[in-house]
Amino acid sequence: MITVKKFTFNPFAENTYVLSNSLKECIIVDPGCSNAYEQEQLIGYIEKSGLKPVRLLNSHCHIDHVLGNEFIKEKYNLLLEAHRNEIPVLKGVHDYAAVFGVALDEQKPIDKFLEHNEVSNFGDSYFRVLHAPGHSPGSICFYFEMEKIIICGDVLFKGSVGRYDLPGASGEELFRSVTEVLMALPDDILVYSGHGPETTIGEERKTNPFLKRSFFFGV
pLDDT of residue 219: 45
Percentage, residues of the chain above pLDDT 70: 94
Residue 81's DSSP bridge partners are: 57, 112
The CATH number assigned to the domain with range 3-217 reads 3.60.15.10
Whole-Å CA distances, 100 to 97, 104, 162: 5, 11, 19
End-to-end CA distance of the chain: 44
What are the residue ranges spanned by the domains of the chain? 3-217
For the full predicted model, state whether its pTM sits above 0.85.
Answer: yes
Mean pLDDT value across the chain: 94
pLDDT one-digit tens code per residue, 136-150? 999 999 999 999 999
Mean pLDDT of the 122-130 span: 97
| Phi, psi for 13 (deg, rounded to 5) | 50, 55
